[in-house]
Amino acid sequence: MTRKVVLTVLFACIMFASGCSNSPPIPDEKITDVVRIFMHDPNFYSFMVQDSSSSHLKMVSLHNSSYVAPVSFFADVPQGEKMWVLVHHVRAIGANTGMVFEIHIHAPRDVEGAGWNH
């Protein structure tokens, strides 16, 4: 078979398999009150989140192991406001899911390097 035929058949199989899932869609998740962003690698980020009613800080880490799409950054947060992240959960094949990150920042300098895990 030619490469084009193989790719067409593979694409049709993937589309058929993904359409067979009866799982409901997973709602988007919004992480607010982000004060620092750490990039471990291009698909692994940690966010320092500050509770708006206290001085408590917590870390939230997201690792997109499915590599559905690259992370998108938007420099659209006004100075003085906290950053935020939108996580789109996307159905892959069957019940498997992946994530697409939208990270909303003040400026590119808000993204800091973090420890590498490899």
**Residue 1 within any structural domain of the chain:** no
89 phi and psi, to 5 degrees? -90, 125
Rounded CA gap, 10 and 15, in Å?
9
**Residue 18 within any structural domain of the chain:** no
Query: pLDDT for 50-96, tens place per residue?
Result: 987 888 999 999 887 666 677 889 999 999 999 999 998 776 555 56
Rounded CA gap, 77 and 59, in Å?
20
**Residue 105 within any structural domain of the chain:** yes
What is the span of the domain harbouring residue 86? 23-113
Predicted TM-score (pTM) of this structure: 0.71
Query: pLDDT for 6-43, tens place per residue?
Result: 455 555 555 555 555 556 777 889 999 999 999 998 88
**Residue 16 within any structural domain of the chain:** no
**Domain count within the chain:** 1
**Residue 75 within any structural domain of the chain:** yes
- Give the count of beta carbons closer than 10 Å to the beta carbon of residue 85: 21
**Residue 15 within any structural domain of the chain:** no
Give me 75's structure tokens: 């420099």
